[in-house]
Amino acid sequence: MQGTKSKIRYLMTPGPVEVSPKTLNALSSPVIHHYSPEFIELFEETTEKVKKVFQTKKDLIIMQGEAVLGLEASVANILNPGDKVLVLDNGPYGAWFGIYVENHGGTVVRLKEDYNKAIDPDKVRAALEENKDIKALTVVHMDTPVGITNPINEICKIAKEFGVLTIVDSVAALGGIDIRPDDWDIDICICGSQKCLSCPPALSPISISKEAWKMMEDRKIPLKLSYLSMTDYRDTWIKNRKFPFTPFVSEIYALNASITEILKEGLPNVFARHKKVAEAIRDAVEAIGLKLWPSSREIASNTVTAIKVPQGIDDEKLRRIMAEKYGVLITGDVAGLGGKIFRIGHMGYSAKMDNALVTIAALEKALQEIKFPVKIGSGVEKILKYF
């Protein structure tokens, strides 16, 4: 969608999201040396604040790269050639975990579900009973392309019954949806700065359990001196307050600012805000006459609303009208779901009722322009009830 950049006033995508003025201001702070006392103190403070958002007492590292770095690293650091990994696949990101496993010599055991349904914990148990030599399990907390939230609490507890390491992609959920790595037996929990944490895309905070560290140490050839190495972060930062390489100084300033705002609002209030905006948008979408992609509202995400593209509708044209004429940018499908889904992101700083109102109003007008039968104001009325 070229030519829309200067016209966008509302960024309602599933990441990157809007960034607050305070975070933008922090991003422009003067760059200082990463071993100056000021930066060491800032990095330590930021790490402790991020742990509060993770609701964890486990070790936490902040890998310097977009969240995909953390996702691949979570697999690369634990696998020996031939190790079996149960990959829970009910969305494109869940499926892509299998590529990381294969790239690093592992063997994928795939539990596939329809892409409009959540993973059934009973099926996870059955798969683990059938495959006794599974080493690790991967699951996406909220699969962004399909807007579905998986019951990771139940899934990870079942995995632990079988002694299986749990790896959770919470990139598009953590900070907007309640998650408790300590209570839910999550060994490696990956987040991304550009989603609910409302920062630029650059950082990948990850909580890591003692069991996960041991598995990394027990790897036949531990991954060292690599951009993917998690143990490099542990051996430098956690043990010695040093870095494996030069960290992203400006992005740490920004992360500190955004996390401070989240903690000031209070996690229960943040979760409630995301839920309220999500429910309002779901109500509005259905009032307009559109259908949600998830098979039930119970599994629909509080950070992204995935909507079925009505038959005969060009969703790219719809989104282009919303962007160019009304200044609201939403997103379409990802690979494998061509023309079937379009998505409204409502996470982090973007998860505001005013944004929801403008987005639904723009959606109604754009649908009218492409001749979809819609009563103008039907969705807006639903949003207004939440004010």
pLDDT tens track for 230-268: 999 999 999 999 999 999 999 999 999 999 999 999 999
pLDDT of 336? 77
pLDDT of 1? 44
Cβ-proximal residues to 225 (8 Å cutoff; 6+ apart), any chain = 232
Q: What is the DSSP letter of 103?
A: H
CATH code 3.40.640.10 region(s) in the chain: 31-263
pLDDT of 333? 74
Sites in the chain below the pLDDT cut of 70: 1-6
pLDDT of 89? 98
Q: What is the DSSP letter of 79?
A: P
Contact 300, 149 (CB under 8 A): yes
pTM of the full predicted structure?
0.96
pLDDT of 6? 56
CA-nearest of 356, 374, 357 to 365 is 374
Tell me the three state secondary structure of residue 149: strand
Domain 31-263 maps to which CATH number in 2.60.40.1120, 3.90.226.10, 3.40.366.10, 3.40.640.10?
3.40.640.10
pLDDT of 228? 98
Residue range 114-157, pLDDT digits in tens:
999 999 999 999 999 999 999 999 999 999 999 999 999 999 99
User: What CATH class is the domain 5-17+266-384?
Assistant: alpha beta
pLDDT of 337? 83
The CA distance from 106 to 109, in Å, is 10
For the CA atoms of 348, 354, 358, 364, the dihedral, rounded to the nearest 10 degrees, stands at 100
CATH code 3.90.1150.10 region(s) in the chain: 5-17+266-384
Contact 282, 290 (CB under 8 A): no
Phi, psi of 107 (to 5 degrees): -110, 125
